[in-house]
Amino acid sequence: MDLANMRQNGVRSIDVHCSDCSHHAIKNLDNFPGHLAVKSFERRMRCTQCGSRRIDVRPNWLEKPAMPSLTGVRFPKG
């Protein structure tokens, strides 16, 4: 999955998790181009707490509206 794909799903940030100290952070990626793969950030990032490079990155699915059909939110096509 790349950033463009993630944005189409209503998610604009990633959930960054350190495998060594369990430090956890949400990072907004609005300033990054859409062709970048979500997983590519695992190699770019470093834990701000312990300095580890064992980083696990995934789309921040919590940002996605749970039931868009009930809230009346319409997603743009494409």
CB atoms within 10 A of CB 35: 10
Contact call for residues 46 and 52 (beta carbons, < 8 A)? yes
* 58 binds Zn ion, rule: CB under 5 A: no
* 56 binds Zn ion, rule: CB under 5 A: no
Complex with Zn ion: residue 20 or 56, whichever CB lies closer? 20
CB atoms within 10 A of CB 72: 6
* 21 binds Zn ion, rule: CB under 5 A: yes
- Stretch in the footprint of Zn ion (CB under 5 A) among 1-9, 33-41, 46-54, 59-67: 46-54
